[in-house]
Amino acid sequence: MGACLYFFEAFQNNKNPKYGQSAENILQEVYTFVHQNPVPTYFDNGLAGIAWGIHQLIKKGAVEGEANELLEQIDNILFKVISEKSEELEFGLKRGLLGYFLYVLDRLTPLLGQPPTKGYREIFTSLAILLLNRLHFLVEAQKANFSEPKQFNLFWDLPNYLSILAVIQDSRLLPEKTHRMLKDITPLVLSTLPQNLGNCLNMYWAINRLAVPDWKPHTGLLQKRLIDAPLSGFGLNNKSLYVENGLAGLILLDHQMKSDFGDFDGIFDQKDNIWEAFIHLERSEYWEYLSNNLDHELGLLYGITGINFSILHLSKEKTIIQK
């Protein structure tokens, strides 16, 4: 599914019909495969992530059709897993509750404020409430791993959890419970000053999305660490190019920050950081590894698709600065 998203993005950038055709072909292959074969249900390389990707394309108008109809079969499987096995699921985004919740909220948000359609709004609302309660229970029971990873990791549970709460807060679903959950997590948020600058950027993005007044001074501390930060200060290993824990993830996170907050001075607004990123890409030992493992390196989160996706955005930044 990641390759499909990449080719649609590439087509939007340069209107090359080959990219558009490739995207359509891959989407058809994915759609056929998941309807004819058993596929894991989690977000990372599973049905929740595939359905989320298809929904992005529907929202952008790249795919014609009604989401409830196109995703009905996948949704039925996910409904069953979430309803019956939520207590067995781990916490995180890639293979746990946060990933399922991300998809449920993505589907629920457009339905809020609209007339009920075949009960979909009610179903997604009930699933969201179930997942929210389960997440709250795990956090209260201290069964979530909120410790900062030693290196940059886009899937650090703490900012991922805060980002989910931001979507819940914006949806006004269970506002009193959301307020309580934010109050409960406040001491941890205010005592967390990430050592890695990539993790600092991730926390800064999540906290800004919530805009909790009592967190504003802490937001300023995070911002101070990021102002004019050189790319060399982010501690990326030579081989670290993946979306999950490398340069591609940092580029895409920075792009999302600028998309969400227009006044954000991005890491790659700095000319030196753009050139350093291209040098890092060119000199990385990853390419030698890729030449011997191409069949296993096609993914979005950890593979060439995600890296190419980030290069699209980095090239845009380069063009803007050159102008």
Rounded Cα gap, residues 77 and 168, in angstroms: 23
Residues forming a β-bridge with 303 = 298
User: What is the pLDDT of the chain when averaged over all its residues?
Assistant: 92
Q: Give me the amino acid identity at 149.
A: P
Question: DSSP letters of 143-176?
Answer: -S--SPPSS--TT-HHHHHHHHHHHHHHHTSSHH
Assign 302 a pLDDT band (cuts: 50, 70, 90): confident
- The answer, yes or no, to whether residue 320 has pLDDT greater than 60, is no
Joined together, the tokens standing for residue 200 give 């600092």
Q: Which of 15, 31, 17 is CA-nearest to residue 73?
A: 31
Torsion of CA 69, 70, 73, 79, to 10 degrees: -80
- The answer, yes or no, to whether residue 323 has pLDDT greater than 50, is no
Assign 299 a pLDDT band (cuts: 50, 70, 90): confident
Q: Is 39:77 a contact under the CB 8 Å cutoff?
A: no
Better pLDDT: 116 or 12: 12
Q: Is 54:65 a contact under the CB 8 Å cutoff?
A: no
Single pTM value for the model: 0.94
Rounded Cα gap, residues 263 and 77, in angstroms: 41
Rounded Cα gap, residues 264 and 242, in angstroms: 24
Assign 318 a pLDDT band (cuts: 50, 70, 90): low
Average pLDDT over residues 119-124: 90
Residues forming a β-bridge with 260 = none
Average pLDDT over residues 47-66: 91
Assign 13 a pLDDT band (cuts: 50, 70, 90): confident
Q: Is 211:219 a contact under the CB 8 Å cutoff?
A: no
In the DSSP assignment, the letter for residue 113 is T
Q: Is 234:198 a contact under the CB 8 Å cutoff?
A: yes
- The answer, yes or no, to whether residue 81 has pLDDT greater than 70, is yes
Say what percent of the chain tops pLDDT 70.
97
- Helix intervals (H) in the chain: 2-14, 17-36, 47-59, 67-70, 72-85, 97-111, 120-140, 157-171, 175-190, 197-210, 216-226, 247-260, 271-283, 286-292, 304-322
Assign 316 a pLDDT band (cuts: 50, 70, 90): confident
- The answer, yes or no, to whether residue 305 has pLDDT greater than 50, is yes
Q: Exposed, middle or buried, 105 (CB in 10 Å: 0-12/13-18/19+)? A: buried
- The answer, yes or no, to whether residue 118 has pLDDT greater than 80, is no
Phi, psi of 211 (to 5 degrees): 55, 45
- The answer, yes or no, to whether residue 321 has pLDDT greater than 80, is no
pLDDT, one tens digit per residue, over 84-93 is: 999 999 999 9
pLDDT at position 317 is: 72
pLDDT at position 285 is: 93
